[in-house]
A and B are shown apart, each in its own frame.
Chain A
């Protein structure tokens, strides 16, 4: 029998849990790199892998420079960043509100962005960066309204989810109304935006998103320890010295901004925020909110779905949201069915 002291047992347990989530994160990162390599090389505008690498290293020909650096790379990066933002945002929402349905696309944050964007496209005939900025503003404004409607000397998860679903229903009505009033051509533009699409995403879309993520993700990382403690209930968290309301507000702002930024860049890509976190938590299995792993899962899902959407037979290019939606909805049903059987009901 090996004699080990108690603190060592504790330390080894912690190391084991850390090793597992690190390993999961590494594997997902490898999947991302492989997925990016496939997306850059295969599909429309095939470029052999060694040419992809040499082009990335700055030694491409004029044609590979154009295909890789101007067409494919920004789209791949946009997919990864959008997925990352949705994944982390969904994980924060679900953990903070203690509800697996509480993701930005279900509780109206993405709908708020959509309503603002569609208003821009249909009523004012705008396009491009302006739509993105307005969409982000729409997400933040929707969240602010929801927070105020939910506030009763504090914000509880279930109330916020219900208020959010109500707000989402109203905003969907607004979107539908705008669509019926629109010309066919603008309605089609709006519809593509609403489905969530990475078609034609260039560096102009990647940079603002990258800058926003560079600001938001460190803030999330700093607040993740608080999020860990908030999960044990407000009383326990307060007892451990957490300033519950300011921390929760800070985390909500980060999560809303992440979802808003991703929606602004690619439209409300269906189900990514809802799905990435449960998958991430199941992979990490360490009792933490698994923010990093969820973000990587989101990135991998959007990257692979977008690649598939571009290369499916039939239409020239499906919007990525069609694929994430058609894969996501069955998963959601399965999740609900399973939760009910386990007596948790969500």
Chain B
């Protein structure tokens, strides 16, 4: 796969559900070829921003640009070849096998007349191998554990072979081992293929550890963005989450580690 540099940015984008504005005139640039993590408290609009950037939600104002062209102007399939999205709650059809589900990622590469080819088999196999799910390829998805299932969904996104990959809380419902595993996998992908990865993540410390670029949001607006080692301070966390904390260097990665302070440990 080529390391094509695709640029993705939001320009004064406003996103709303049923007329209720969740993201209010937000401007952000996703650095190509790096890992961006979006963090913030519940209902701050981080998932909404991701959905807007993936064109799952059309903005009510402003625009999202892919390679300096408004994302709404791309034909569906063309967009799906460049930008992949793993939504928060994808549905596995009943009875579908792992290989079959991962194969669905090839959809944008197949036309009305061009059907399944050896290249599709190769892409699926590579995605299965990368996510360590090759040995369960023939099993039904519903028989897998939560961690395996999440890896299978990521495998589907990988089989799509896009240069931009957006993931909405890919570690939810996973235990800490599997969380680290998924983030390692995304880092591998970024390092080996040069894929631009954008992740909405709940866990602040893991976000600081894995992100090259951090976007911290509150109430539909960006509070800070940049290299987590430079932008994460106790003051910033206080402003974003309304929580006092102490920042210490992560003993493993030397990235900022947030230690929350509750009422009982002042």
Closest B residue to A152 by beta carbon equals B18
CA distance A285 to B100 in the complex (A): 12
- Looking at the assembled complex, report how far the CB atom of B49 sits from the nearest CB atom of chain A, in whole angstroms: 15
CB–CB A232/B121 < 8 A? no
CA distance A312 to B53 in the complex (A): 64
- Looking at the assembled complex, report how far the CB atom of B126 sits from the nearest CB atom of chain A, in whole angstroms: 7
CA distance A236 to B54 in the complex (A): 11
Closest B residue to A228 by beta carbon equals B104
CA distance A241 to B105 in the complex (A): 10
Whether A308 sits at the interface, judged by CB under 8 Å, is no
CB–CB A241/B76 < 8 A? yes
CA distance A16 to B124 in the complex (A): 16
CA distance A6 to B134 in the complex (A): 8
Closest A residue to B87 by beta carbon equals A235
**Cβ-defined partner of B107 (8 Å) among A7, A16, A241:** A241
- Looking at the assembled complex, report how far the CB atom of B59 sits from the nearest CB atom of chain A, in whole angstroms: 14
CB–CB B80/A10 < 8 A? no
Please give, as numbers and ranges, the residues of chain A lying within 8 Å of B90 by CB-CB distance: 232-233, 235-236
CB–CB B108/A6 < 8 A? no
**Interface with A: B91-99, B209-217, B246-254, which one?**
B91-99
CA distance A201 to B107 in the complex (A): 43
CB–CB B76/A242 < 8 A? yes
CB–CB A285/B95 < 8 A? yes
Given that A10-B121, A10-B128, A222-B112 are contacting pairs, would A239 and B87 also be in contact in the complex, using a CB cutoff of 8 Å? yes
**Cβ-defined partner of A7 (8 Å) among B56, B89, B121:** B121
Please give, as numbers and ranges, the residues of chain B lying within 8 Å of A229 by CB-CB distance: 104, 107
Whether B161 sits at the interface, judged by CB under 8 Å, is no
Whether B137 sits at the interface, judged by CB under 8 Å, is yes
- Looking at the assembled complex, report how far the CB atom of A294 sits from the nearest CB atom of chain B, in whole angstroms: 14
Could you mark each residue 212-237 of chain A with 1 if its beta carbon is under 8 Å from any beta carbon of chain B, else 0?
00000000001001001101110110
Query: What is the total number of residues of chain A having a CB less than 8 Å from a CB of chain B?
Result: 31
Whether A343 sits at the interface, judged by CB under 8 Å, is no
Whether B125 sits at the interface, judged by CB under 8 Å, is yes
Whether B55 sits at the interface, judged by CB under 8 Å, is yes
CB–CB A10/B124 < 8 A? yes
Whether B1 sits at the interface, judged by CB under 8 Å, is no
Which residues of B71-92 have CB atoms within 8 Å of chain A's CB atoms?
A: 76-81, 84-87, 89-92
Whether A204 sits at the interface, judged by CB under 8 Å, is no
Whether B51 sits at the interface, judged by CB under 8 Å, is yes
Please give, as numbers and ranges, the residues of chain A lying within 8 Å of B107 by CB-CB distance: 225, 229, 240-242
**Cβ-defined partner of A239 (8 Å) among B54, B92, B121:** B54
**Cβ-defined partner of A287 (8 Å) among B84, B86, B93:** B93
- Looking at the assembled complex, report how far the CB atom of B83 sits from the nearest CB atom of chain A, in whole angstroms: 8
CB–CB B93/A232 < 8 A? yes
Whether A281 sits at the interface, judged by CB under 8 Å, is yes
CB–CB A241/B108 < 8 A? yes
Whether A14 sits at the interface, judged by CB under 8 Å, is yes
CB–CB B100/A239 < 8 A? no
Whether B259 sits at the interface, judged by CB under 8 Å, is no
Whether A17 sits at the interface, judged by CB under 8 Å, is yes
Whether B140 sits at the interface, judged by CB under 8 Å, is yes
Whether A11 sits at the interface, judged by CB under 8 Å, is yes
Whether A19 sits at the interface, judged by CB under 8 Å, is no
Whether A54 sits at the interface, judged by CB under 8 Å, is no
Which residues of A181-237 have CB atoms within 8 Å of chain B's CB atoms?
A: 222, 225, 228-229, 231-233, 235-236
Closest A residue to B157 by beta carbon equals A239
**Most chain B C-beta atoms within 10 Å of own C-beta, residue among A10, A232, A235:** A10
Whether B131 sits at the interface, judged by CB under 8 Å, is no
Whether A243 sits at the interface, judged by CB under 8 Å, is yes
Please give, as numbers and ranges, the residues of chain B lying within 8 Å of A239 by CB-CB distance: 54, 56, 80, 84-87
CB–CB A10/B54 < 8 A? no
Closest A residue to B88 by beta carbon equals A235
Please give, as numbers and ranges, the residues of chain A lying within 8 Å of B220 by CB-CB distance: none
CA distance A16 to B94 in the complex (A): 18
**Cβ-defined partner of A240 (8 Å) among B80, B94, B96, B138:** B80
CB–CB B112/A9 < 8 A? no
Please give, as numbers and ranges, the residues of chain A lying within 8 Å of B93 by CB-CB distance: 228, 231-232, 287
CA distance A342 to B137 in the complex (A): 25
Closest B residue to A11 by beta carbon equals B121
CA distance A14 to B112 in the complex (A): 19
CA distance A240 to B160 in the complex (A): 8
Whether B266 sits at the interface, judged by CB under 8 Å, is no
Please give, as numbers and ranges, the residues of chain A lying within 8 Å of B81 by CB-CB distance: 241
Could you mark each residue 113-134 of chain A with 1 if its beta carbon is under 8 Å from any beta carbon of chain B, else 0?
0000000000000000000000
Whether B173 sits at the interface, judged by CB under 8 Å, is no
Which 4 residue pairs are nearest across A and B when measured between Cβ atoms?
A241-B80, A287-B96, A6-B125, A235-B87
Q: Which residues of B contact A (CB under 8 A)?
A: 51, 54-56, 76-81, 84-87, 89-97, 99-101, 103-105, 107-108, 110, 112, 116, 118, 121-122, 124-126, 128-129, 134, 137-138, 140, 160
**Seed contacts A10-B103, A240-B80; 4 additional CB < 8 Å A-B pairs:** A10-B124, A235-B85, A239-B54, A287-B94
A-B contact pairs, 27 of them (CB 8 A): A10-B121, A11-B118, A11-B121, A13-B97, A13-B99, A13-B137, A13-B138, A14-B103, A16-B138, A228-B93, A228-B104, A229-B104, A231-B93, A232-B91, A232-B92, A233-B89, A235-B51, A235-B56, A241-B76, A241-B78, A241-B81, A281-B95, A286-B95, A287-B93, A287-B94, A287-B100, A287-B101
